[in-house]
A and B are shown apart, each in its own frame.
Chain A
Amino acid sequence: MSALVALQGIAKGFGAGEARVQALSDITLSVAAGEVVGLRGPSGSGKSTLLNLVACILEPDEGILRLAGETVWQGRWAKADLRALRRRTIGFIFQFHNLLPFLDATDNVALAMTLNDVPLPEARDRARALLDYLQIGRRAGAMPAKLSGGEAQRVAIARALANRPHIILADEPTAALDSERAQVVMDLLRRVAREQAAAVLVVTHDDKIFGRFDRLVSLRDGRIEGEMRPG
């Protein structure tokens, strides 16, 4: 399987001089299409920094980052180019779903498509189909405040899939959910990875879902401590 996310010798530090903190050192990691990889580690281990690097929010100090075949940061990458890359290539799932509170479920999903120049009527049709696919179609017209945690997270997954991304980055997607709903979300992510050949990278503390990853990578003090295959 080809790696859609490939990090090679990545290092990232913050600050200067004595105050400098080395957040990540010599990270080499890849996630292939259809693969669901978990990233775990204690607070301050560098999980968030790694996620921000893969999301093209932070620029690595060293190393090579390749996303869906494109080598990011090499050459001139303007903010607008990075946003366009995120729009086309990456879908995001957040701990607290981060749905826009003033848009209903359908439009939250359709918005991501309209940002990619899909006409609004078509975007809405596709959004409804996506919500049906994720078995939340009956709540298509509901505002986020009226959705339960599990429902909101499914809508957030639908938004992440809106532009058929190659990569899905999830930041603690099950932290706000009970065990049963967390399993449902993980099932969905596995299904999406398999059916859409997407690489899914999940940052998590939630040991209830550790067994649902193809690989589980452990970080400590900014370095990869180990890797296991729970299955």
Chain B
Amino acid sequence: MNLALRDIRHNLGRFLLTCLGLGLLLGVALAMVGIYGGVVEEALSLARGLRADLWVVEGGSRGPFAEASRIPGDVREAVARLPGVTAAGSLTFQTVEARHAGGPGSGEIPSEELVRERAGEAGRQRSGAVLRLQVIGYEPDRPGGPPGILEGRGIGRGRLEMVLDRGAGAPLGAMVEMANIRYRVVGISTRAVSTGGDPLAWITLRDSQDLQFRLNPPAARRAQQGGGGALPQDTVNAVIARLSPHADPASVAAEIRRWKHFAALTAAEQEQVLTRSVVDRARKQLGLFTTVLLLVSAVIVALIIYTLTMDKMREIATLKLIGAPDSTIVALVMQQAMLLGAVSFAGGAALLLAVKDHFPRRVVLGPEEIAGFGLLVFVICLFASLLGVRYALRVEPAQALGG
């Protein structure tokens, strides 16, 4: 006869309500684990999505994600000529607050005049939903483009076209306005976000250089009057290279490091920079928050089990008096703690899995994470129940006698 189950069945409403509260708490803690995984995955998704074996950046920097990096665009050709390099592409990265100005657009390839016209149009009509995007400028047909196109097509040779991450929410054909210029969404990419969780947008390298480096006319005039020249137009943030399967990334990187003013990182080094440096604080904060939540959960489970045990003081005393061994009493307390943990965990996990796609940041939860967290909850419940067990074992059978 399982006394724990029978007691729970007798007080089912109270038990389920307790499970609901604890389940929500465990769900939040599990969400933290998922967000933690999401932060790491998002941090790596951009670098991995670009499938670069080598990153060439400004000398002395660990850019372009960890630090600012600006190098001349013609470095790409020098990198492409290195032995072992099969392809190289110049890239710019810029975080932009854009506006989804609605759509769909017309479908024509815009001329320089149209570019200016669209710029003027956008300047006149600033409206629409705000999008925070990480804009990548790349050269079509060279490394650095979107990892996959779900809808539409990649960027052609035309100007003011954009491939946008599906997470941005703008439909195919929509117009997205950045720095007073409107771009037409010609393709929707598979899920790809920046290290900060912003959706990615790809535009041509030339468009992105304009966006990033070209001064607006009044600022350019002021710069000229002040004697300073404008930044060279062919500036990029990084050059990525793909290597042949037989090439050793470390050797090629060492070769580039011998060049003046340039640094090179292998894919592994870039990932290390991303996880150890770029998202390190977020990781630590999430880890700390998860730990605190688990400690709170442990205290709550301990208090619940202790209170449940105290409520049964007379029953426990009676059981002892009629000769129940300690193992029966311990099983009663521990099984209830385990059931409380199991039902709460299952409820919390189910709820989280149902809503995780609606989180603003990616929640990555695989079977391993869920099983690991379940094991942790089991251990927490086991230890948390010890307080109740201690109380139960101290109950004297004499407490069953008398009024």
A contact set with B: CB distance below 8 Å = 48, 51-52, 55, 57-58, 80, 83-84, 86-88, 92, 94-96, 98, 100-103, 107, 110-112, 114-116, 120, 143, 159, 171-172, 175
A107-B1 contact given A48-B401, A102-B10, A171-B401, CB 8 Å threshold = yes
Total interface residues on B, using CB and 8 Å?
Answer: 26
Task: Report chain A residues within 8 Å CB of B324.
Answer: 83, 115
Contact status A102-B3, CB under 8 Å = yes
Contact status B322-A112, CB under 8 Å = yes
Contact status A57-B321, CB under 8 Å = yes
Distance, CA A87 to CA B401, complexed state (A):
16
> Which residue of chain A has the shortest Cβ distance to B10 in the bound complex?
A102
Contact status B10-A159, CB under 8 Å = no
Which single member of B320, B325, B403 contacts A96 (CB below 8 Å)?
B403
> Which residue of chain B has the shortest Cβ distance to A48 in the bound complex?
B402
Contact status A84-B321, CB under 8 Å = no
> Which residue of chain A has the shortest Cβ distance to B320 in the bound complex?
A83
Instruction: Count A/B pairs, Cβ under 8 Å.
Output: 79
Contact status B402-A171, CB under 8 Å = yes
Task: Report chain B residues within 8 Å CB of A57.
Answer: 321, 396-398, 401
B243 to chain A, nearest CB (A): 69
A102-B402 contact given A55-B321, A111-B1, CB 8 Å threshold = no
B318 to chain A, nearest CB (A): 4
Distance, CA A112 to CA B11, complexed state (A):
22
Which single member of A95, A159, A172, A175 contacts B322 (CB below 8 Å)?
A159
Distance, CA A171 to CA B11, complexed state (A):
29
1/0 per residue B1-18: CB within 8 Å of A? 101001101110000000
Contact status A98-B1, CB under 8 Å = no
- In the assembled complex, B360 has its CB within 8 A of some CB on chain A: no
Contact status A52-B11, CB under 8 Å = no
A38 to chain B, nearest CB (A): 16
Contact status B314-A83, CB under 8 Å = no
Interface of B is mostly: helix
Residues 295-345 (chain B) with a chain A CB within 8 angstroms: 314-315, 318-326, 328
> Which residue of chain A has the shortest Cβ distance to B327 in the bound complex?
A80
A103-B402 contact given A83-B320, A86-B322, CB 8 Å threshold = no
A127 to chain B, nearest CB (A): 11
Which single member of A55, A80, A84, A175 contacts B397 (CB below 8 Å)?
A55
Task: Report chain B residues within 8 Å CB of A102.
Answer: 3, 6-7, 9-11
Contact status B402-A95, CB under 8 Å = yes
Residues 361-403 (chain B) with a chain A CB within 8 angstroms: 396-398, 400-403
B225 to chain A, nearest CB (A): 88
Distance, CA A100 to CA B311, complexed state (A):
12
> Which residue of chain B has the shortest Cβ distance to A100 in the bound complex?
B315
Contact status A92-B402, CB under 8 Å = no
Among the interface residues A88, A95, A101, which one has the most CB atoms of the partner chain B within 10 A?
Answer: A101
Listed A/B pairs (17) with beta-carbon separation below 8 Å: A55-B397, A58-B398, A80-B326, A83-B323, A87-B323, A88-B323, A92-B321, A92-B322, A94-B401, A95-B403, A100-B315, A102-B3, A107-B6, A111-B3, A115-B323, A115-B325, A172-B403
Task: Report chain B residues within 8 Å CB of A175.
Answer: 403
A83-B325 contact given A94-B318, A101-B10, A110-B1, CB 8 Å threshold = yes
Distance, CA A35 to CA B401, complexed state (A):
22
A115-B322 contact given A102-B3, A110-B1, CB 8 Å threshold = yes
Task: Report chain B residues within 8 Å CB of A159.
Answer: 322
A62 to chain B, nearest CB (A): 20
Distance, CA A83 to CA B321, complexed state (A):
7
Distance, CA A211 to CA B402, complexed state (A):
23
Task: Report chain B residues within 8 Å CB of A48.
Answer: 401-402
Distance, CA A115 to CA B401, complexed state (A):
20
B333 to chain A, nearest CB (A): 14
